[in-house]
Amino acid sequence: MPKKRKFFTKRKNVGATKRGRKNDKKIQQYSLTKAVLTVLAKAESPLTQNDIRNNLAEAAPSKNDVEDAIAELVRRREVVAAGKKSFRLDNKGSIFKGKVEKHPRGFGFVTELKPEKAARFSRDPYLSVRGMGTANHGDSVLIRVTSVRRDGRPEAELVAILERFSESLTGYYKPGNPARVVPEDPRYPSNITVIDSVEEEIPANHVVIITVLPAIADEGFVRGRITEVLGSAKDIDVQMRMVIEKHNLPHVFPPEVEKEAASLSMKGAPTDDRLDLRDILHVTIDGETAKDFDDAVAVEKSRRGYRLYVSIADVSHFVRPGSELDKEAYLRGTSVYFPGRVIPMLPEKLSNNLCSLVPDEDRLSFSAILDFDRQGNLTAKKFGKSIIRSKQRFTYTTVKKILIDKDRETRSSHKPFLTPLKWAEELARLLHEKRMARGSIGFNIPEPEIFLEEDGTIETIKRKERNFAHQIIEEFMLCANEAVAKTFSDCKHDFVYRIHEKPSSEKVEEFASFAQTLGIDLPEVTAEPEWFAKVLDIVNDTPAEYVVNNLLLRAMQQARYDSQNKGHFGLAASDYTHFTSPIRRYPDLMVHRFLQGLLNQRKTIVGKKEDITLVEMSRHLSERERAAVTAERDIVDRLKIFFMEGFVGHTFKAVISGVSDNVLFIELMDLFVSGSIAISALTDDYYLYDEKRYRLIGEITAKTYQLGDVLSVSLVDVDRRRKRLNFAPEHLVNS
């Protein structure tokens, strides 16, 4: 018996050993396949099996192991043969390169996916905290997309870190031995050790720019070298520079770009082959502080209807494909607008001079001439390079005084323009009515406008004013954009469209469920523009209007650029593009080149280099637009924090914009400033979170705090580092 027991024990250990060896082999094979994928991802061309083996780690695996790993990856369709003996990543597979955008909570997303066939994803792949591995924000990584959620979001896992982030970032200086820099961006978890002595004495907590250096093996810290001292974080210009660095925005034009811009002039500009529209009563209508005027309009009326001229600055005449100006404009993609500041896409000589349709100066333009009948139906269209001479620079305020307020003094000083402006108003109202009738969604979300003093300090924050003068220009630009896009969709030529895809049915159903908790009587739910428009009409001028507008907007997909025409959901338009702002948007410059190529019946080069595809360009420009919007929101949020520091203890009227189990999110109704109320600040009762009804309910009093409720709040604390405003409730205004 003892022998038998010993025999069985021995057999069990042998089995465990075999299973252990088998598991070890699986782990080794898994690591080897990841290593092979990494080698192929870093290679610029296909590699042979020997090339792959030679590029692997120092402890090189056997030839058979490498062969087995490649065979496994081919079986999984992550690697394909490129010829008889070489291999590359499968462009149609699940492996992609990209850049990590890490959230402070540890999860993240992967942007700038390559290969570009990854554009089949409507959203950036998601990396969970576990799936993130050791990757940090800004790292270039190799990922495997493992699944796609119902909302279209791909889920991924980290395969390898291809390159560690090694660019500059801003942070707060901490003296010591050694000195350290605390990154301002919470997505960078590590403090950075300053490796070189600093020539000047830097006060504690002053903002510096530090270049992160490549990591050294076995070092447990991140090293960096200070390259610039920006100054006190209280300085608004320092905050703006911090935003520029955080979002990696190009903000200084290279010398070769400035040199090329300086050489340009209006002298010798060809006019013989252009439509001479200098006698047409063109005017520009912009904001008071505008400096670049890239669109001018004119309206004529006859018995048949209206003729609209939309003349856009001819940037393509000055910015030639492949030039230094063109390369830099493509890199930037768009101008970025900060309060009182701008990072232009083009140098000032172009944006504020040669390409700006200033009054009483001949300017080169690209005109859309559109004819409408008395009902506002488009009956004819014509496009062409032109030369115009703007007769007047109007502001929205002045046009409002003329058309809406009927201000006698203002009307008296602009008599030659009264009738043409009246015609413009008539046509704009017709176009607006037709657009709304087809289901175009008219969101009504107030926007803040920050006014600065001459010294850069914040004077005040107010609601950005919109009046019918804004509507006139908006309607004219929209119909010009649609007319150009329809021309290309009809002829099936290469083009870049501005698309806005239909929201997912899940998002719409989620919103409808929420709306019912507010007692809103919704029409039958459909994921069509008309349904969204009806919902907004229902809540117009009600306490729920602000919240419903915001939540409906969140249910939407992001508008973007694409070489395929997928329509514009928000505008209920089958064809749409961007034609009207080439001074500040590169896609508009591309559209001008495409349009001129079509008129000349020739293929037009639209890219910065010949080997780039329209799909790649559209994706890059959508990313640049997204970066600009994010940066613009960032600086506005920062300035709001600075402004509110002077109002601790003050009381404000607010609307509840979000509810969770531990916090109420609010928006101040007059200042458009976001903040929060911790549940611990609700001291009159113990509140329970009703997830289905988006509300908190008092356990004893049954008092509720619900999404959309208006309440009075007081500002308790301003946390500048975290960019948070903490409030306490005073009382509910309505419930």
Helix, coil or strand: residue 183: strand
Where does 168-233 sit in CATH, by number? Answer: 2.40.50.700
Q: How confident is residue 19, by pLDDT bands cut at 50, 70 and 90?
A: low
Q: In the prediction, which pLDDT does 485 show? A: 97
Query: Confidence class of residue 153 from pLDDT cuts 50, 70 and 90?
Result: confident
Interval 518-544 mean pLDDT: 85
Task: Give yes or no for a contact between 570 and 555, defined as CB atoms under 8 angstroms apart.
Answer: no
Q: Where are the beta strands (DSSP E) in 660-723?
A: 663-668, 674-678, 687-690, 695-698, 704-706, 710-719
- State how far the Cα of 707 lies from the Cα of 515, in Å rounded to an integer: 10
Q: Chain centroid to CA 307: how far?
A: 35
Average pLDDT of span 546-573:
91
Q: Compute the residue count for the chain.
A: 735
- Which residue has better confidence, 73 or 612? 73
Mean pLDDT in residue range 383-389: 96
Q: Does 401 score more than 60 pLDDT?
A: yes
Confidence (pLDDT) at 11: 43
Residue 597 — φ and ψ, nearest 5°? -60, -40
The percentage of the chain sitting over the pLDDT mark of 70, rounded to a whole number, equals 91
Instruction: Tell me which of 1.10.1060.10, 2.40.50.140, 2.60.120.10, 3.40.50.1220 is the CATH number of domain 95-163.
Output: 2.40.50.140
Under a CB-based contact definition with an 8 Å cutoff, are residues 714 and 651 in contact? yes
63: pLDDT confidence band, cut at 50, 70 and 90?
confident
Full-model pTM: 0.83
Residue that the structure tokens 């508008």 belong to: 559
Asked whether the predicted pLDDT for residue 629 surpasses 90, the reply is: yes
Residues of 382-395 as b/e, b for ≥16 C-beta within 10 angstroms? Answer: ebbbbbbbbbbbbb
Q: Per-residue pLDDT averaged across 68-72, rounded?
A: 87
637 vs 589, residue with greater confidence: 589
Q: What number of other Cβ atoms are within 10 A of residue 459's Cβ?
A: 11
pLDDT value at residue 116: 61
What is residue 213's DSSP assignment? P
What ranges do the domains of the chain cover? Answer: 22-89, 95-163, 168-233, 255-500+561-635, 505-556, 648-732
Using the predicted structure, report yes or no on whether residue 388 has a pLDDT greater than 60. yes
Q: Is 201 exposed, middle or buried (0-12, 13-18, 19+ CB in 10 A)?
A: exposed
Question: Three-state SS for 179?
Answer: coil
The topology (CATH level 3) of 648-732 is OB fold (Dihydrolipoamide Acetyltransferase, E2P) (2.40.50)
Do residues 159 and 38 make contact, with C-beta atoms less than 8 angstroms apart?
yes
Q: How confident is the model at residue 216 (pLDDT cuts 50, 70, 90)?
A: low
692-697 mean pLDDT:
86
> Which CATH number, 1.10.3720.10, 3.30.565.10, 1.10.10.10, 3.30.420.60, labels domain 22-89?
1.10.10.10
Location of structure tokens 């959508």: 622
Among the ranges given (301-315, 389-403, 608-622), the one the predictor scored with the smallest mean pLDDT? 608-622
pLDDT of residue 545: 82
> Which whole number is the average pLDDT over 707-734?
86
Beta strands in 568-686, from DSSP E residues, in sequence order = 651-659, 663-668, 674-678
Residue 606: per-residue pLDDT:
47
In whole angstroms, what is the distance from residue 211 CA to residue 591 CA?
A: 38
In this predicted structure, the answer to whether residue 38 has a pLDDT above a threshold of 90 is no
Lowest-confidence segment of 214-228, 351-365, 672-686 by average pLDDT:
214-228
Query: CA-to-CA distance for 478 and 310, rounded, in angstroms?
Result: 10
Cα gap 4→7, rounded to integer Å: 5
pLDDT digits (tens, 9 = 90+) for 406-427: 999 999 999 999 999 999 999 9
What lies within 8 Å, CB to CB, of 225 at 6+ separation is 194, 195, 196, 210, 211, 213
| Highest averaged pLDDT of the listed ranges 208-222, 350-364, 710-724 | 350-364
Closest C-alpha to 93, from 47, 45, 146: 146
First to last CA, the chain: 81
Mean pLDDT of the chain: 87
Residues 51-57, mean pLDDT to the nearest whole number: 82
Looking at residue 351, its pLDDT comes to 94
* 246 has pLDDT over 70: yes
Statement: residue 445 has pLDDT above 80:
no
Tokens representing residue 273 in the block = 């082959």
- Note the pLDDT of residue 27: 64
Q: What is the pLDDT of residues 164-183, one digit of tens each?
A: 776 788 999 999 888 999 99
Q: Identify the three-state secondary structure at position 37.
A: helix
- What is the rounded average pLDDT of the residues 512-538? 85
Who has greater pLDDT, 577 or 62? 577
Average pLDDT estimate for 294-299: 97
Q: How far apart are CA 342 and CA 322, in angstroms?
A: 25
Residue with the larger pLDDT of the pair 499 and 54: 499
Which tokens hold the place of 160? 């390898």
Residue in 625, 731, 722, 628 with CA at minimum distance from that of residue 684: 731
Of 89-93, 241-245, 293-297, the poorest mean pLDDT is in: 89-93
pLDDT band at 603 (very low <50, low <70, confident <90, very high): very low
pLDDT at residue number 4: 38
C-alpha R_g of the chain: 30
Asked if the domains 22-89 and 648-732 are classified in one and the same CATH topology, the answer is: no
The whole-number average pLDDT for the span 278-282 is 96
* pLDDT in the model for residue 185: 82
Report whether 536 contacts 444 (CB < 8 A): yes
The answer on pLDDT for 20 being more than 60 is no
Say how far apart CA 232 and CA 202 lie, in whole Å. Answer: 10
**Which pLDDT does position 470 carry in this prediction?**
94
- Range in 293-307, 531-545, 667-681 the model is least confident about: 531-545
pLDDT digits (tens, 9 = 90+) for 72-122: 888 888 888 887 789 988 888 888 998 898 887 788 999 888 876 555 677
- Give every CB contact of residue 408 below 8 A, 6+ residues apart in sequence: none
Q: Rounded to an integer, what distance in angstroms lies between the CA atom of residue 51 and that of residue 60? A: 12
Between 33-42, 242-251, 447-456, the lowest mean confidence (pLDDT) is in 447-456
Phi, psi at 161, each rounded to 5°? -95, 115
137 confidence band (pLDDT: 50, 70, 90): confident
